[in-house]
Amino acid sequence: MASEDREAQEDELLALSSIYDGDEFKRSECTQGGESTIYLDLPENFMVFVSDNGADGLQNNGKEHMVCFLPPLVLSFELPSDYPSNSPPSFTLSGKWLSVTQLTALCKRLDNLWEKQRGSVVLFSWIQFLKEDTLTYLNINSPFELKFDSPENMERRIGPATLPEELSFAGATGFVEDQEQAVDKRAVRDIDIESLASLLQEVLDFDQTQQEKSFNKAAYTCNICFSIKLGSQCMCFSNCKHVYCKECMKSYFEIQIKDGRVNSLNCPEPKCSSMATPNQVKDLVPEDVFARYNQLLIHASLELMEDVVSCPRIVCQLPVVEEKKYRLGVCGGCSYAFCTLCRFAYHGISPCRMTPEKLMQLQKQYQRASENEKRMLEKKYGKRVIQMALDEMKSKKWLEMNSKRCPSCGSRIEKLDGCNKMTCTNCMQYFCWVCLQPLCATNPYKHFNDRTSPCFRL
């Protein structure tokens, strides 16, 4: 019988090695046993959270987190010499996110499965049950509350498994735990988990790592170059999940950064506002390009701060804290004292000096700006200067539409009524309103009586 048991064990271990890859099943080298790492199949939109009751230094108590993967259960086993004819495998079951009471319930279920299959190999049934039915058996639904077993409670509760055959369950929060219930010694707590905060972080970190691995193995079509590439050669925007190849995104980022548009590194998908993270940009562009991106990003952030302006000297451009009461900025780098409104040398209570070129540049910049950028410009230059620039622009537009320049002195002339013979009030020059030709002082109407003139009888 011993030889038959040994042969059955070898066949079972060989079968498990061929069914599961190296990450999921490892055979022990020194004993007749091994370890199975069991990744559970989670339903879509599975959420986890921690209770508001236990602060534990957490900043997001009660917040739900969507996960696609949970840390695996680990089934470590050793096969006795009379397995499977008589004795079951000896084992321990551990998991980071299940309580010892829930692990005890699973140990009890593995015992029941052995009793039903006594005399036959059982490891594959155990592994498949844990992989496919753990959530159902423990009645774990989304959202699932993560809990932490303190070492003190575990020491007090450790003992022989005494769970009843009929288990009690409680809706969305999973298996009902009795804090006084003895737990199975085979239910092993992960000693790396020291608190509820570290447990939550462990779950979220594992989920992110597994999602990256899953993404890297899949194939995607880039909607820019229309090439099909592995995820390891692609980049995914975290908010919208749109995927593009790294080569296309590298070129796209470099062009935007070169043009100074660091706030425009958004998803190329039309009407999509998802932004690339700094880490994604850093992974794709050269160091010198990322240094420029970082500098521009810091500068853009400083501009959003109400009391911070940049030094107007081109060779300096350092951030300067504004003394709002006096509209004064003193650069710590070059010691330049300037008016934060007009950006010229500080002039005290005297009116700001804005050149026509500066006003024209400001009005064009303001018209093209978004609402946030307009508010930024108003903080930077003041609403009075902005309004002055807009009024200047409106005046110029009105003059261009309703007046013409005198051909002699260039003064603006408005025609209210009467004929097309105009007289400049500045230089007294006669001219034609239609063709702007200067007219003879002694006979200005000759131009309109000449049949060869394009303005005949106008």
Query: Per-residue DSSP letters for 67-123?
Result: ES--PPEEEEEE--TTTTTTPPPEEEEEESSS-HHHHHHHHHHHHHHHHHTTTS--H
Cα 302 to its chain centre, rounded Å, is 21
419 is catalytic: yes
Alpha carbons 55 and 197: distance in angstroms, whole number: 9
Residue 255 CA: distances (Å) to CA of 58, 232, 234, 247: 41, 23, 19, 13
Tokens of 187: 């239910």
pTM: 0.57
pLDDT of residue 170: 34
Q: What is the pLDDT of residue 135?
A: 93
Round to whole Å and give the CA distance between 212 and 22: 19
Name the active-site residue from 68, 225, 409, 419: 419
- CB within 8 Å of 405: residues ≥ 6 apart: 411, 412, 413, 436
Q: What is the pLDDT of residue 168?
A: 38
| pLDDT number for residue 91 | 95
Cα–Cα distance for residue pair 205/71, rounded to 1 Å: 9
Adjacent-strand bridge partners of 75: 36, 93
Query: 3-state class of 321 per DSSP?
Result: strand
What whole-number distance in Å separates Cα of residue 241 and Cα of residue 222?
12
Please list the ranges in the chain whose pLDDT falls under 70.
1, 52-62, 149-181, 190-193, 302-304, 306, 351-359, 379-385, 388-390, 392-393, 395, 397, 458
Return the pLDDT at 225: 92
Distances (CA, A) of 125 to 28, 84, 94, 233, 251: 20, 13, 18, 38, 52
